[in-house]
Structures are given as C-alpha cells and as structure tokens.
Structure 1
Amino acid sequence: MGDVMGDFAPITPTNECEEHVFIAARHMLKALGTSKNVSDDLRRLLADVDTHLSRRTQITVNMIDVTREVEEQLKFAQEKIMRWESNTSTIWASGPEKASDYLQAVYDIQRLTASLRSSPSSSSGNQKELLDRAHSVLQMAMERLEAELLHILAQNQQSFEPEYVSFHSCEEDIVSNVSIVSTEDESIGNTSRRDSSGTESEDHIVDLVHPDLISYIKSIANVMFASHYDQEFCHAFTNFWKDALDGYFFALRIDKLSIEGLLKMEWNCLNGKINKWIRAVKYVIRVYLAGEKRLFDQVLGEFGSVYSTCFVEASKGPMLCLLNFGEAVAIGTRRPEKLFKLLHMYEVLADLLQDVDSLFSSEVGSFIRTEFHELIMKLGDTVRATFMDFGHAVALNPSTNPCSKGVIHPLTKYVMNYINTIVVYACTLNLLLDGVQDGAELVPFAQNISLDNFCPLAHHLRSLTSYLEHNLDDKSRLYKDSSLKHIFMMNNIHYMVQKVRDSELVTLFGGEWIREYTAKFQQHATSYERVTWSSALSLLRDDGNTSRKSILKERYRGFNIYLEEVYKIQTGWFIPDTELRKDLRISISQNVIHAYQTFIGKNSGVIGEKHINYTADELENFILDFFEGSPMRLPSTHKK
C-alpha cells in the first residue's frame, strides 16, 4: 500500500499526442481547401470533416483538462490519506478537525471514483489506471477507518457491571446449601424465596459507549456505507459487541455449559448457578441488550433492516446460551426442592416477555422470540408436574418406625413450610394450576373438598393437607400406645393449624378450614384424656360398692401404681407448643385433681392418713411435669 504514491506518475502525455494529431489533420484539410483543383463537392466534404475534427479537438482538450483536474484532486486526497499511514496516532484522538479532514478526503475519493466510472472514456487506459489507484487508496482508507472504529469502541466502552456482582462473587460456593428437605422451621423460606438484589440496576438502560462518541461512530458508518464497505463495518461493529457481551458474561459469572453438562450437575451446584442465571437474564435483557439495541439503532438505524440484523447477530449467541440453561433446568429430573427455583425462573421470564418481544421484533429475530416463548411454556409444564408430584409424594410417603415422643413428624414440617413458601408464587400457581385435577383418588376423603369460593391454588393446598393428614393417620398406627397416637396426631394437626393461621396461608385456607382442623386436634386431645385417664378415674369413682375398707385401699393403691406408670412414661412425651401443653395439663388437672380430692375427702379416714401418698397439690405438680420430653419417676412417698 505504501507504493501507491510512488506509482502515481502523470498520465496526460498520451492525450497531448492525440491533440497534436488532430491539429495536424486540420492544417492538411485547410491546405486542400485552398487548392483550385478541388471541386465544390469535395470542398464541402472537407469543410464537414474540418468541423468534426474541430469539435473532436475541443473534446479532447476538455478531457485532458478534466483528467488533469481529477488527477490533481486524487493526488491531494491521497496525500491526506497517506499521511496517516505512517502516523501511530489515531485520527479521532487527534481532534475533530483532523477527523473531519480525513473523512472529507475519503468523500473526495468516492466522488472522484464515481466521476471516473461515469466518464465516457472510463475504459481508456489512462482513466482505468486512475480508477484503480483511487480504489487502492479507498481500500486503504477503509482499513484505517475500521481500525479507528475498533479503537474508539475499545477506548470508550463504558465500564460498568451489575451492582450485585461484587457482593455475590463467591455466591456459588455459599448459596442455598440448605436443602428443602430440612425440617427446621423457616429453612425453606430462607433459601428459596425470591432474591430481589440488584433490582435497581435491572430497570436502567445503560450507555455502552459514551454518548459524545456516537457521532464519531456514526460518521465512520456513513462513509463506509457510502463507499460500499457496509459489510466490513457491520462485521467489525457486530463482532466487537459479541466479544463485549462475552466479557459481561464472565463478569456475571455465567458459564457457557451444554445442556448435557447441566443435566449431569448435582442440584446444590446447579442451584447456585440458577441464582446467578436469574440475575443475569434480567440484567442482560433489560439492561445490556436494551442498551445495545439503542446503540445499534443510533449508529445504523438510517440504513433500514441492517441495524436489526446486526443486533440479532451480536446478541443471539448469549441469548441462546441463557435459553439453553433454562431448558436444561426445565427438562431435568423433577424434585420437590426445585419447584421454587422453577417458579422464580418462570416468573422472571414471563416478566421479561414483552422486553424480548420488543428487542427481537424484526423477522430476523423471530427465532429468539419463539425459543423464549417455548421455554416459558416448558417451565410452566415442569412447575405443574413438579407440584403434582409433590402431592403424590406426600400422600404415599412411607414410614416403618413411629416418631419418638409423639413429636411433630419431619414430613409435617416439610409440607407446611413448603406450602407456606408457595404463597409467594400464588398468582403464578393460580394461573398454572387452573383446570388441573388434584389427584383426589389418592385420598378418598379429599374428594369431599369443595371448589366453591376457592382459587385453584387454595383447592390444591387444601388437598395437600388432606393428603398429609391421611398419611399422618397411617403413621400414628405405628404406635403401640393408643394415648401416644393421639398425642402425635394432636401435635401434628395443631402445627398445621398454627402454620396456616400465622401466615399468608390463612387467606387461601379460610376460617372454615382453621375451625375444622382446630376441632380435629382438640378431639385428639379429648381422646387422649379418655384413653389415658378413664381407667384411673374409674378407681376413684364412687360406684356404690366402696363400703369395704379393703376395696377402697386396693383402689387407692391401684390409682397410685397407675399414676407412677403414666408419670414415668408421659413425662418423656413431648408437646412442643407451650400453650397446647399448658392447656392439656390444665384439662387433665381439672378432671384428675377433682376426682382425687373427692375420693380422698370421703375416704381418708378409711384409708388412713399414713397411707395417703400425695396431696392434691402434689398431684397437680406432678401433672405439670408431663410432656416435657424427659422421662421422670415419682418421688418416694414421704408418708410414714
């Protein structure tokens, strides 16, 4: 390229020779015209030829003048272009005047090229040589402009990153390590609820380059398009932003993994990646790509569909990467703990649907719109299937050993914390579960749940608690002690009522359900008292057959033996809820203490003071030891 100036030798002598030939011919015609031996007809013919040669001479002179002018202008423009070939500085960094001067030189070469192409003698050797040289200079200028474009973009690309990146740089190692299978209260909610971090930046379109530089980039685009180097500009511009988006993916800590690789990934690892994916997909679509499309429109908008084609080309790779990740999660193995992430992903994509439709509204971007819509549908299908699978798992959950001390079963905590977390996604689940059967055939009495005045989610959650109650009833049959069976059912149903009453679930279950299930755990408390204390109280009852002293003493001794056995066993049982434990103790005391006081009051003289082991107050204190979870023994009698 550097030899272009050296090869630019003057090309006008050939035209000057042609001019001399025409002049010589005209002199010969004039000499013949003055000859007396020429006829009138020949004289007229010679005059016509002279006129033609005169015109041709004038055209040739004009062409020589034009060629000289084009040559001078091309030389002048070329000097401006070549001046920067040996200059290590960038044109636009040298100031707007230098840049404007360079662009004007390029426009001059474009004009001269067009002039040479349209010239009648463009096929002549001289003008063809000029045209070739103009093309060479133009090619050189285009290469320089492409380099200038990339330099401007690289040097002036706005440096920014999502606010959450710095706070979550180690997130993959620490997030969501607590499994949903945990039965500790609130563990599910704390690890599965939406993460709202970074929302401030998600709704702000960014400038990918400083706004002041847009006019520079656009000026390069205009001159390259005018020079028919539009493909070169688009290729350079598009590839730059492809690479830039790859860089932002790295900043967002998004790994480009295959669907197969994601399907093989352990849930704890995948869970952390889903958290990052959720933040990234919102940021990339609503912030980054929105800014990128605005930039492409500002630079290429006046060139018609070119700008949308370039935008889609620059963004399709990362978009498909994000969508492939979502698809891998959607088609992966269904597990209950995945439901919340699936719901979150579904809601995020549904919220971004209009953004995607707007970003890729052109025909060339229709395939991305289609894939996005299809992913939302797949996630919705997976949410429904996972939710229904959960109900089936609750109904059919097996047990081989009874729960120690009659406490709240892990399944009860699991289910109630699970559905308590689901409330966050009530609107979405109502949409997805509308018209879906709840599988009531798994639990016969679940078929009696009325649909009246209940949304789809409420109906399914009430069915879930029916499944749970039915399963708990099966588990209670594992207890050999009937009293403990009722304590177990009371504890678990009370927990269910408590979790509904003290949360947003109350709006879905309603007061009727709370009253119904409150009555159920109260009935189990009553049944416990009947099964446990009815035989003991019968020993203290006056049935008209207590006239004999030996019978009274035997009954009293039998009551004490029974009390010691019940005390030893039931102090080891546990009622976790303080109020429920207190209420049951009070109820026991009211029945047992009253009967004991009456019996002792009537028969103390017969039994003998020294044989009465415990006072009523002592007996009441013993009852206060019940259901604390630590087995105890009654103190030895202090009566002598």
Structure 2
Amino acid sequence: MKSLFFHSSKSSPSRTFSSTSSSPSQSSHARPSTPLSESMLESKMSHADTLITKWDPDSSSYAKITSLFFENRGEARDFIKSVSDIQRAMHFYVSDSSSHHKLVHAQRLMQIAMKRLEKEFYQILATNRDHLDPDSISARSSTATTRSTSSDDEDADIIDDDAGEAIKEVECEASLAMSDLRSITDCMISSGYGKECVKIYKIIRRSIVDEGVYRLGVEKLSSNNLNKLDWETVEEKIKIWINAIKVSVKNLFSGERILCDQVFSASDAIKESCFSEICKDAAIGLLGFPESVSKCKKSPEKMFRFLDMYDVISELWPEIESIFSFESTSVVRSQAVTSLVKLGDAVRTTVANFESAMQKDSSRMPVPGGGVHPLTKYVMNYVCFLGDYSGILADIFADYPLQTQTPLPVAMLENSPSSEDPISSIAARFEWLILVLLCKLDGKAELYKDVALSYLFLANNLHYVVSKARGCDVRFLLGEEWLSKNESKVHQYTANYERMAWAKVLLSLPPNPTAELPAEEAKAAFRSFNSAFDTAYRTQSTWIVPEGKLRDEIKVSIARKIVPPYRAFYDKYRVLLQKEPHLEVVVRFAPENLENYLSDLFYGTGVSGSAAGTKSSVHSRVSAQ
C-alpha cells in the first residue's frame, strides 16, 4: 500500500528503487566496498527481522495486546530505525537481480512494520484523548509563549509546587504523545504508507472536534427555523453561540491546527488535508449561524445582538485568518466574511427602519403636564446603547455615507456626514437620529393649547436628550460643542416658558412697585396680583419637570422675577392698608408665602381651591407688622 499524497504511490517497488540505481553512490569507485556494505546490510536486516517479527500483532497474543511505545520507548525508537534500514535494503535489493527473494522478504517485513505502526498510532491517539484535546494543546501553547516572554522576570508568580508538578506531568505526557505520533507519521509517510495513518487520524480527531462543538451547545438552525422561534429564545442561542465561537477559535480549532502541524510536520499536503477535513465543516457551521440570524425579521431590539455577533467575528478574524490559512479552508474564511457582510446589512437595515419608525410616529396625545415623551425616552435609550458600539458601527457604515430622505436640513448637523473619517461619519449619523427626534418633538409641542406648556415640554425633552447623551459614550461622538449648544436651547425654552406663563402676574404689579399710589389703586393692584398669581398657580400645579436640578433652576428663576417686586410693593403699602377691613381679602399673599407656593410646583400633583386657600392666612402676619 502506498500513500495517496505521493507521486510514487502507484509505482511498483522495482520502479521506485531503480530510479536510485544510477545515482553517484553506485559508481565504479564504490564497488570495492560492496561486499562489506552488503554484509552490514544483512546484519541490519537480521536485526530488523527479529524485532519486527516480535511485534507482529498476528504472531503472538503479547504483541496484539501490548503497546510498543508504552512498553519500551527505547525499543520503539529501534523499531523506527529498523524500518529505515529495511527501506535502505530494498533500495539495494532492487538493483540486484539475484536478490529478488530478499526484496520480497523485505516487503513483507515492511508491511508487518506498517501494520504495527498503524496499530500504535491508533492506540496513542485513543489513549491520549485527554492530553491531546485541542483546549489543552492551545492552552499549553499560550502558556509556553507566556513563559518565554517572562522567563527573565524575577517578580513572576511562583506556582504551587504540587500544582506545578501536576501540570508538568500532563505537559510531559502530551509532548511524548505528540513526539511519538510525529515519529510514526514521519516513518509511515517516508515509507509510502501515509494514507493509513491519515485515515485513522481524521476519524479520531474529527470525532473529538465534533464532540467539542456539540458540548458547547450550538444547534444547527436555518433562518426558517429561527424565524419560528420567539426572539427571547433566539437571543439565548446567540449568547451560547458567542461563547462557542470564542472557545472554538481560540481553543478548539487553534489546538487542532497546532496538533496537525506538529504530527504531520513531514508533509504540508497531508497536514492541510487532515486539518481541513477535521475542522472545516464544524467551522463553517459555526460561522454560518450569524448569517442565518441576519435573515430573521428585522426589528430595533434585534440590533444589539447583530452587533454583538459582528463584534466577536471581527475580534476573532485575525485568528480565523491564521488558523484557516490553507487554500482548502478558504471557504471558512469566506463564510466568516459573508456573515460579517450579512450582519452589516442587517444593522444598516435596522437603523434605517428605526429612523423611519421615528418619522412615522403619529401619536396625537399630549404628555400630561409637559413631561418627557415616551418617544424621547425610547429613542435616547436606544441611541445610548448604540453608542457602546460606535467603533463597530463606524466600520459597518464606513462605505455608506448618510443619505437623508426627509426635508430636514442636514446643514444643521455639527458633524459633517461627508467626512472621510469613519468616526466623524458615524457621529453625524447619531446626530441625525437625534435631530429627527427633536423635529418630531417640535410637532408634538404644538398639540398643547397653552403655549407656555409647550415650551416647558420642549425644555423637559431637550434636557432629557442632552442629559442622556452626556451620560453615555455618545458624548464623545457628538462633542462638547453640540452638548453646550443644546443646553443653551434648554435655557431658551425655559425662559420662553417663564415669559409666557408669568407675564400676567408681573404685569399686575405697578411698573415701579415703590411709587406713590392712592389706597384704592394699591388695593386694585393687590387684587389683580391675587387673581393672576392664583390663576397661574392653579394652572401650573399639574405641570411637571421630572428632573430635580432643572426643576429647582426654574423655580429659583421664577421666584427672582416675582418675589422681589412684590415684596417691595407689599412693604410699601402694608402700613397704609393695615386698618383696611377684610384685609385678608385684599392682601392674600405674604412675600414668604409666594416662595412656598412656588416650591410646590412642577410635581404634577395639582391643587384644589385657590392658591391662598392652600396656605395659612396672611392676615395675622400683616396685622402683626
């Protein structure tokens, strides 16, 4: 039997060895030493005959059940050397027509030896499954690399003696097993019997790889199968896959490649053939899973799982490219690229659908009290999560510049969508999504009949947008200028709210609160102020500012505008009106009370009755003063 991986595999022994008979070693200058060489050859053949016959599995029960490499490593090395001696003898006999019977005997010994080595090869692979599992091989390779780079570090941690000895023992057994396998394959391949050991190796090692993938819990599911499952189930399968692909590439496939390279170092062709047949199908199956998922129905919540899978394949790509570098495994690299392309398509489609859904939102119900709209919360939470994937998104959208299908002004963007920098490009896309949201909010503000409330609504929502952006990685994309600019807009909205909501209250007081007025005019001013403040307070008691800092800022700003002029007017005319009957009807508010009333605002709780009715009467205070 001859190896399929060699050109001489179909040649007869006589044809194979006759090609060497015309070599310089057979020149006339070498003939005087022929008898001595023949004598030595006969001696080596006699020794080989004895040793190989001893380990013939068909000659004794001892040879059938005993492992040569386990029983006597020295004799195993001698056995390998004897095979080389038989090869040399066959070369010699084929050139001597009178040695035909010796050539036949040598061929018989070679077949016995190959049968023995085939048996040893199987036993070593089968009995060392634990020591030769890909995870362990990959881990030992990494450990060896680490040791080589830190061997001179005097501060390196010292491993516990018992644990260290156990590790060394396992490593030693694994190294011996790989060395034995390599010596057997080298011997069998050089003898033209590579096919036999390759067949055994592929069967055993493929079963190990397939079992490893199975234990990682990955199921082979088509896009049709996945579409029949609920998304929560698919998400769980994606999480399992992410762990599985990391372990498979970094340990399973990496370890198998290392083992193949070492065991079949004598033949690049056999090395490639073995690794390809053992790992290719499993790798294609694993790397094909994201492609199947990408074909599922698109929805915004699926985006992050698409990105997770894209991220892990991108991270593993250098190792995938290195491990599956053979031409016969190029299909694995192609599958990885295909999955990346399909996932990228899915992400771009999902982002487009997300933007479209925002623009199509047609809810006409105003948020009570001008609070933060659910659309604002949903979009900004989504955008902030996307910010965690900005690097991946920059890669996915690198060749897809921002193209808008709406009349919204792109010129409003701080970040140019035409920038060649991928990060600037993705920053423009984030800014665009937020701009679409803000334009939708402008439309929803018009649903409020009270203009002041519409401004409060815009202030609340823009403040939420800026706060969320500043609190996540999106802030690095949008930049401080964008954040500051929109914080200024929040202040403009609150200023507009204050002007529209409290203008009547301020106008109810005289332009100069300390100017001399007749008692009747002063009383009329108090009554006007009472009515305006009471109306404003009752109206705004159901309005809300959810964020505490903004709420306090607005209250302080209102108090600074109203309380000082009212206090000046109050102090000016309190003595004049002190003897006025029913003073509590005319002067319903003390300056201190105004601040208390204002402190109750923007919680959305509402009040019953008038503003003055919610607090203690100020008549006693006025009288006391």
Alignment of 1:391-430 (within 5 A): 391-430=355-394
Contact 1:571 1:632 in 2 (8 A): yes
Distance verdict in 2 for CA 1:554–1:137, change over 3 Å: same
**2:62 is the alignment partner of 1:88:** no
Post-superposition CA distance 1:174-202 (Å, at most 9, x none)? xxxxxxxxxxxxxxxxxxxxxxxxxxxxx
* One of 578, 581, 591 as aligned partner of 1:616: 591
What secondary structure sits across from 1:592 in the alignment? helix
**2:602 is the alignment partner of 1:627:** yes
* One of 66, 71, 76 as aligned partner of 1:99: 76
Alignment of 1:340-351 (within 5 A): 340-351=304-315
Give the CA deviation at 1:96: 0.7
Instruction: Specify the code of the residue in structure 1 equivalent to 2:68.
Output: I
**2:294 is the alignment partner of 1:330:** yes
Give the CA deviation at 1:436: 3.2
What secondary structure sits across from 1:302 in the alignment? coil
Distance 2:279 2:598 in 1: 73
Deviates more, 1:92-101 or 1:318-327: 92-101
Q: Corresponding residue for 1:145? A: 120
Contact 2:125 2:204 in 1 (8 A): yes
Post-superposition CA distance 1:183-232 (Å, at most 9, x none)? xxxxxxxxxxxxxxxxxxxxxxx989822322111122123324433122
Post-superposition CA distance 1:45-85 (Å, at most 9, x none)? xxxxxxxxxxxxxxxxxxxxx99998997576323323465
**% identical aligned pairs:** 27
**2:550 is the alignment partner of 1:580:** yes
Question: Which of 1 and 2 has greater Rg?
Answer: 1
**2:432 is the alignment partner of 1:457:** no
Q: Corresponding residue for 1:507? A: 476
Contact 2:508 2:525 in 1 (8 A): yes
* One of 455, 467, 488 as aligned partner of 1:498: 467
Alignment of 1:135-214 (within 5 A): 137-138=112-113, 140-154=115-129, 156-158=131-133, 160=135, 210-214=174-178
Distance 2:308 2:545 in 1: 36
Distance 1:504 1:497 in 2: 12
Distance verdict in 2 for CA 1:222–1:637, change over 3 Å: closer
Any gaps of 5 or more consecutive residues in structure 2? 1-40, 139-169, 621-625
Give the CA deviation at 1:578: 2.0
What secondary structure sits across from 2:409 in the alignment? helix
**2:566 is the alignment partner of 1:596:** yes
What secondary structure sits across from 2:65 in the alignment? coil
Give the CA deviation at 1:136: 6.5
* One of 221, 226, 229 as aligned partner of 1:257: 221
Distance verdict in 2 for CA 1:121–1:145, change over 3 Å: farther
**2:260 is the alignment partner of 1:283:** no
Distance verdict in 2 for CA 1:559–1:444, change over 3 Å: same
Distance verdict in 2 for CA 1:87–1:291, change over 3 Å: same
Distance 2:562 2:481 in 1: 33
What secondary structure sits across from 2:544 in the alignment? coil
Contact 1:571 1:629 in 2 (8 A): yes
Deviates more, 1:82-91 or 1:225-234: 82-91
**2:181 is the alignment partner of 1:217:** yes
Alignment of 1:461-480 (within 5 A): 461-480=430-449
Contact 1:92 1:148 in 2 (8 A): no
Give the CA deviation at 1:101: 4.8
Distance 2:96 2:131 in 1: 43
Contact 1:106 1:138 in 2 (8 A): yes
Distance verdict in 2 for CA 1:97–1:637, change over 3 Å: closer
Deviates more, 1:283-292 or 1:447-456: 447-456
Distance 2:443 2:61 in 1: 88
Give the CA deviation at 1:405: 3.1
Q: Corresponding residue for 1:183? A: none
Any gaps of 5 or more consecutive residues in structure 1? 1-65, 164-205
Give the CA deviation at 1:527: 1.9
Distance 1:472 1:422 in 2: 21
Distance 1:322 1:367 in 2: 13
Distance verdict in 2 for CA 1:586–1:209, change over 3 Å: farther
Distance verdict in 2 for CA 1:73–1:355, change over 3 Å: closer
Q: Corresponding residue for 1:302? A: 266
Give the CA deviation at 1:368: 1.9
What secondary structure sits across from 2:260 in the alignment? helix
Q: Corresponding residue for 2:162? A: none
**2:243 is the alignment partner of 1:268:** no
